[in-house]
Chain A
Amino acid sequence: MYRYDEQDHKLVRERVAQFRGQTERYLAGELKEEEFLPLRLQNGLYVQRLAPMLRIAVPYGLMNSAQVRRLAHITRKYDKGYAHFTTRQNVQLNWPNLEDVPDILAELAEVEMHAVQTSGNCIRNTTTDQFAGVARDELVDPRPYCELIRQWSTFHPEFAFLPRKFKIAVCGADQDRAAIRAHDIGVQIVKNDKGEVGFQVLVGGGLGRTPILGVAIRDFLPETHLLSYLEAIVRVYNQLGRRDNKFKARIKILVKAMGAEEFARRVEAEWEQIKDGADELTPEAIRWAKRFFPEPEYKSIANGHGEAVLRDHAGEDKAFARWLERNTFPHRVNGYQAVTLSTKPTGIPPGDVTDRQLEAIADLADKYSFGEIRVTHEQNVVLADVEQEKLFELWQEARKNGFATPNIGTLTDMICCPGGDYCSLANAKSIPVAEAIQRKFDDLDYLYDIGDLDLNISGCMNACGHHHIGHIGILGVDKKGEEFYQVQLGGSSNEKASLGKVLGPSFSRDEMPNTIGKILDVFVENRHPDELFIDTYNRIGLQPFKERVYAKAS
């Protein structure tokens, strides 16, 4: 993974000093509340319902074990002993004291971490595929490009006060596991017919109140021009994006109002002026970035050996077999497999882990996966490079630490925002809904029969829980001071991305588990053999679900 050199260390130290000064001036009354607000947001610090919330950056979701141990220490020393993984592959602390934040940042800086640009109207943490570098369907490893984007966007002097937040995601594989169509900019790595690496560039995606999927404005951008092109897009947006209305300020609104063609024309015109300038990614710069993501020192393992060992273990232990099926992912190297540690056992807020669990993750990573950890946008944790021969042993340890719930990709592996329990924007709680659904559907055989199903829950229309792109999406709404939940069906976040459609009138929290049950009944009754929920939905449409859910009791 990327390692800091003296310049990175210096920049992050200077940022800590800058923020320490800003916090002191704020506490001394020299910096007004409204002036401190964007400054603290650009350091990941929110003031929430109950306490401040600090969002720590995990560039493209990648951490080493020392960093995870430091997070464990920070949660113990400055917080309540737990942390939360977010859908931007970041980490959140829910209870720090404002006065302690500069010290927390200083502790993070020691292990090459920070909270820079995890919030605010600036370019946020770039996200990517959690299986980058190991997936079999990968064309090119996206991480070096993500790192270059990180460097280009960090403390960008021109783009720190954009009309609104700005999110970039990069995908290097056939299957889009980074939801790039739901981002302000989505970058898809492609090759042209000469075999040269380049990028398809999508703009104008985003969730929130007005969900829109990104559209391609360029089908092949040569590799050397990635950053100049991004700069051109953000520059056009900075100049022309709306600033009169917060809810119309995202780039998606500009692209829609202007039309994608006209927007593309303006970007190209701007880019023409800068494409051979300082932002050009020279072959040396690309080589330099790639140097940080070398292949780990894999053992040479005979084809089929690992699978044979796994078959034996799986044959003896059904629980292991289930876990193996749901929580591991094929690896491009013989004898290896990627593992997803589930943070979604029933009854724990999705994405929450304790200090002890963070330490356990670090230990597992050191022991089994070259000391490296990835956070997924589904709020789980991936150990990407595990020998198949060690999977049984790892599973037993993961189980002891509460990470082996074999539900990855199933209904109970939900994306869920912190909701009304923590967030001051939320209209409704989301964690109790997630828990009630998990409790109702705790039969693993049933879950496996249902198969892959994305259920996403947001506590308000800001859509942090990505409800628009869940196969089943749940949105918390406020009706005259009471919390209700709207259901959407048919969303999808992958390369065939789609936005969900509202099923009908909303439900009380108590009605939610049964409502989901009825939706699943319709699916089970209508599915063709081996069909997934989303495929059945796409075939039969919303109506059959609607009829069942809103049928009057006879």
Chain B
Amino acid sequence: MPKPAKPSVKKPVGEQPENPAKLILDGAVTDNQWNLLPLGGEEEVTAENLAPGKVILPLSVWLELRDQLQERGEDIGVWLDSDETVDLIGEYAAELPLIAAHFPAFTDGRAFTVGRLLRERYGYTGEVRAVGNFIRDQLTYLTRCGFNAFAYQGDQPLERLLESTSDFTDSYQAAVDQPLPIYRRRALA
């Protein structure tokens, strides 16, 4: 029997983040002002066919269109998939009002490093947004790593999520929220 022909499809894209209508921003529940463009749409995205308004582009798309999108300025954000490291944005970060990091699964902790490096290495002051499958119990660490926005797509009410943003009121090590680790603070005391 002849082998069936291989279907000619593009390499499948992984789990894509959703774009919920509401999110947590700076400690409050608020409307999501941004549209998130997932990877792997039917049509290739160009500067011309990109819908108006605030849009979060996949990193690869943004790197491609960056020069053509200059005049959209404050309307263009970028999201990093979990296998994309911050140095791919690097110095460009300052141009962007919003950078999102994707959790394909909540156990994939690469986004924590994304947050810290954006804030600590690149001095990024815009919105750092968690998107994808993170869970409530990660908010306290995400906050310490510099995230200030949480586009949660699980089934718990956002108000309940807020309860977990400060499970700890102190910390041992330095991070975005704490410039000195506890052992140095104690040694100074």
Contacts and interface: CB of A to CB of B under 8 A. Distances in A.
Contact of B173 (A38, A152, A282, A288): A152
Given A154-B172, A288-B187, A278 B179 contact: yes
Nearest to B84: A239
Interface in A343-367: none
A289 interface: yes
A309 to B, nearest CB: 43
Interface in B65-100: 82, 85
Contact of B184 (A10, A15, A273, A278): A278
Contact of A161 (B85, B107, B168, B175): B107
Contacts, number: 116
Given A151-B172, A158-B175, A284-B187, A38 B107 contact: yes
A235 interface: yes
A284 B113 contact: no
A157 B167 contact: no
A210 B52 CA distance: 53
A157 B144 contact: yes
Interface in A272-288: 273, 277-282, 284-285, 287-288
B169 A14 contact: yes
B109 to A, nearest CB: 3
B137 interface: yes
B172 to A, nearest CB: 4
A479 interface: no
A39 interface: yes
Contacts of A160: 109, 112, 138, 141
Nearest to B177: A157
Contact of B183 (A10, A30, A157, A288): A288
Contacts of B138: 160-161
Given A148-B183, A157-B145, A278 B174 contact: yes
Given A11-B168, A157-B171, A235 B113 contact: yes
Contacts of B107: 38, 121, 161
B21 interface: no
A278 B180 contact: yes
Contacts of A31: 137
A148 B184 CA distance: 10
A346 B73 CA distance: 75
A442 B165 CA distance: 58
Interface string B121-143: 10000000000000101101110
Contacts of B171: 11, 155, 157
Given A159-B109, A278-B181, A285-B187, A151 B173 contact: yes
B64 interface: no
Contacts of A243: 82, 108, 110
Given A10-B170, A14-B168, A155-B168, A161 B112 contact: yes
5 smallest A-B Cβ distances: which pairs? A161-B109, A278-B174, A157-B144, A157-B141, A284-B187
